[in-house]
């Protein structure tokens, strides 16, 4: 892949996608979003990649938001296209058929926070800082912040964060369940890789179907979600790995999954 704003690295059975504009604190311009769309679309059909890590280049920032220099030029019709494009990229990530881990290494503001909210698993470094400061620019979030944040924390706190632009640090994000763990900056990527490696070893069809079932919790009511779970459960029982996993348990040995 020919990329100018992202770094892409494949390691064993997982990939690391690094947003690489450190001089602009990895702000999301049109090129970054276009390349994210390209990379995630490609990754979705690569069977050998079973987990993806997203992070930001440099020690200071995950992503400090959408690129304000681009936003500044938008008129009303262009702004709609702009928001819909960013939303489509983050929805692609949220609906990926392989787990996406956000390794949040500093500022996660505006579009950076929205990118984090669209990932399946979030871990961060001690210097992470989260916020939706769009209101201070005379704006509102346009890449899903008003929709995903209230689904992750209380609607009251989401309203306060969106309306005041207040930022929250790593420990507060941990207490709120917005991130699973907080690590020293130098430990963040190794820990993300450890997790990606662990998930990559799990049977791929079961992992994919867990993601589909989780997706249904965002899209449906309980009864419809339970019907989807039952269907996915039955389909998973048709896989070679299901037969191997259950047989290995009964034979008291480690399963040898083939991801089929």
Radius of gyration of the chain (CA): 19
Residues annotated as catalytic are 114, 134
Q: Does 68 bind ligand COA (CB under 6 A)?
A: yes
Number of residues that bind ligand COA (CB under 6 A): 16
Instruction: Determine whether 253 is exposed, middle or buried from the number of CB atoms within 10 Å of its CB (0-12, 13-18, 19+).
Output: exposed
Cα–Cα distance measured from residue 183 to residue 163, given in angstroms and rounded to the nearest whole number:
29
Contact map string, positions 165 to 204, toward ligand COA, x by CB under 6 A? ----------------------------------------
Q: Which of residues 94 and 134 has its CB atom nearest to ligand COA in the complex?
A: 134
Q: Pick from 133, 144, 145, 203: which binds ligand COA (CB under 6 A)?
A: 133
Cα–Cα distance measured from residue 127 to residue 240, given in angstroms and rounded to the nearest whole number:
44
What 3-state DSSP class applies to 66?
Answer: strand
Q: Which of residues 132 and 208 has its CB atom nearest to ligand COA in the complex?
A: 132
Q: Which residue has the tokens 């928001």?
A: 83
Q: Does 128 bind ligand COA (CB under 6 A)?
A: no
Q: Does 64 bind ligand COA (CB under 6 A)?
A: yes
Q: Pick from 51, 109, 123, 207: which binds ligand COA (CB under 6 A)?
A: 109
Residue 213's H or E segment, with its range, is: helix 204-219
Residue 115's H or E segment, with its range, is: helix 111-118
What is the binding site for ligand COA (CB under 6 A)?
Answer: 24-25, 27, 64-69, 107, 109-111, 133-134, 137
């Amino acid at each position: 892949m020919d990329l100018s704003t992202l770094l892409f690295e494949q390691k064993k059975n997982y990939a690391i996608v690094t947003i690489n504009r450190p001089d602009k604190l990895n702000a999301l311009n049109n090129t970054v979003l276009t390349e994210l769309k390209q990379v995630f679309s490609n990754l979705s059909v690569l069977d050998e990649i079973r987990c993806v890590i997203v992070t930001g280049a440099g020690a200071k920032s995950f992503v400090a938001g959408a690129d304000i220099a681009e936003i500044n030029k938008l008129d009303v019709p262009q702004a709609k296209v702009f928001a819909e494009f960013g939303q489509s990229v983050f929805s692609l990530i949220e609906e990926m058929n392989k787990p996406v881990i956000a390794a949040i290494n500093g500022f996660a503001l505006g579009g950076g926070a929205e990118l984090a909210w669209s990932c399946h698993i979030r871990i961060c470094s001690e210097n992470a800082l989260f916020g939706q400061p769009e209101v201070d620019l005379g704006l509102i979030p346009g890449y899903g912040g008003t929709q995903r944040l209230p689904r992750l924390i209380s609607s009251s706190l989401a309203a306060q964060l969106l309306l005041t632009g207040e930022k929250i640090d790593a420990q507060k994000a941990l207490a709120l369940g917005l991130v699973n763990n907080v690590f020293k900056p130098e430990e963040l990527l190794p820990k993300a890789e450890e997790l990606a490696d662990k998930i990559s070893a799990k049977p791929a069809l079961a992992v994919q179907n867990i993601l589909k079932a989780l997706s249904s919790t965002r899209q449906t009511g309980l009864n419809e979600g339970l019907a989807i779970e039952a269907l996915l459960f039955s389909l998973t029982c048709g896989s070679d790995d299901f037969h191997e996993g259950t047989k290995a348990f009964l034979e008291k040995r480690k399963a040898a999954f083939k991801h089929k």
